[in-house]
Amino acid sequence: MEIKKRVGLLVREQRRQRGWSQEELADRADLHRTFISSIERGIKNATINSVHTLATAMGLTVSELLEGLQKTDHAEIERVHSRDR
């Protein structure tokens, strides 16, 4: 799986854990909702600045947000992805 898709899944998982919509996260991060959607779907690459902004909006450090990024357990990644279907 591409890294931008894995980053998107991590962002989505953290957002959902907070019970936030994409719009709420976008408001808190001062980003556009469609940008959040594009990141979560792995369509757009998130810059390090965007990752920092998103992490801060969720009360996380960048390393906390990206925890598990290198995880090779594809079952976990698929579990998160399957919740969207």
How much of the chain, in percent, has pLDDT values that exceed 90?
76
pLDDT at position 41 is 96
CB atoms within 10 A of CB 23: 12
The stretch 23-51 carries a mean pLDDT of: 97
pLDDT at position 72 is 43
Class of domain 3-82: mainly alpha
Q: Where do the domains of the chain lie? A: 3-82
Rounded Cα gap, residues 85 and 71, in angstroms: 22
- Tokens of residue 7, six digits: 């980053």
